Chains A and B, each alone.
Chain A
Amino acid sequence: MADLAFWMIVLLTIGGAAVVVLNKNLVYSAIALLFTFFGMAGLYVFLWADFLAGVQVMIYVGGILVLIIFGVMLTNRITSVNISHSSVQRGIGAVVVLGILSILVIMIYNTPWLQVEAVEPVQTVGKIGYLLMMDYLLPFEVASLLLLAALMGAAMLSRKSN
């Protein structure tokens, strides 16, 4: 049963990603991205990352995807019915990407990964909070500065010029 759920989620993720990059309609791509993000959240649950699955749904689906759909809306004339977009150099792009993929697959298959057995944690939030406040305090503070700078920069850039 868990196997079936796992492969369904994998299919949802990869199928969604394929639609994102192959579909002609930009809005369809954005909606397919939604399925990919939800599938990723499901995979995170399989990887025992419950907190990050929640964060994924909140930030990617609730934030970034809404932002992207806003971008689609603002950069296409709303009267134009056909919000389509084309691709260029599909053949050579596919060749390059299949080359990269085959190199990655060969590398993954041939590397003897060091693996350590672990028990499933009850929850991960406590440990993440502890690490954020102890070992990773400086990156945490820098991340807040980065978000502030990005907020001000985005507001500044998207404002109508005076």
Chain B
Amino acid sequence: MDNLNTYLFIAAILFSLGMFGVITRRNAIAVLMGIELILNSANLNFLAFAKFGGMNMSGHIFALFVIIMAAAEAAVALAIIINIYNNFKSINVDEVRELRQ
């Protein structure tokens, strides 16, 4: 269990699932959940390389910045999604295709 490849495989599976969510979901919030999964898998990779690369703490700092960015991104994305909902009464990403109302 405790080797680098296990963690990399878990991160690869999580990345693939997140990618699947991003490209198949119609609801914009579900797409956002897929993006969060992808960011989490990137974090797992950073921390795995940090541990098996001699406990270099720079990986932890990078993971921390990814978490900060994810928080900012989620807030702005949800604000945009709520605006889209107010304008179109729908947040399905394949129906929202007009630039004007």
Q: A interface vs B, CB < 8 Å? A: 2-3, 6-7, 10, 13-14, 17-18, 20-21, 26, 29-30, 33, 36-37, 40, 43-44, 46-49, 51-52, 55-56, 59-60, 63-64, 67-68, 70-72, 74-75, 85-90, 93-94, 96-98, 100-101, 104-105, 108-109, 113-119, 121, 124, 127-128, 131-132, 135-136, 139, 143, 146-147, 149-151, 153-158
Contact = CB atoms under 8 A, between A and B. Distances in A.
Size bin of chain B's contact surface: 35 or more
Interface string B1-37: 1101101111011111111110111110110111011
21 contacts: A13-B14, A14-B10, A18-B17, A29-B30, A30-B33, A36-B14, A52-B64, A55-B64, A64-B71, A67-B75, A68-B74, A74-B82, A75-B29, A85-B30, A85-B92, A96-B19, A97-B23, A101-B16, A108-B12, A118-B51, A131-B58
Interface string B40-53: 10011001101111
Given A33-B33, A33-B37, A47-B50, 17 more contacts: A21-B25, A21-B37, A26-B29, A26-B30, A40-B40, A43-B44, A52-B64, A60-B70, A63-B74, A97-B20, A104-B16, A116-B53, A119-B55, A128-B61, A146-B68, A146-B72, A150-B72
Contacts of B57: 124, 127-128, 131
Contact residues of B: prevailing secondary structure: helix
B94 interface: yes
A20 B17 contact: yes
Contact of B67 (A60, A94, A113): A60
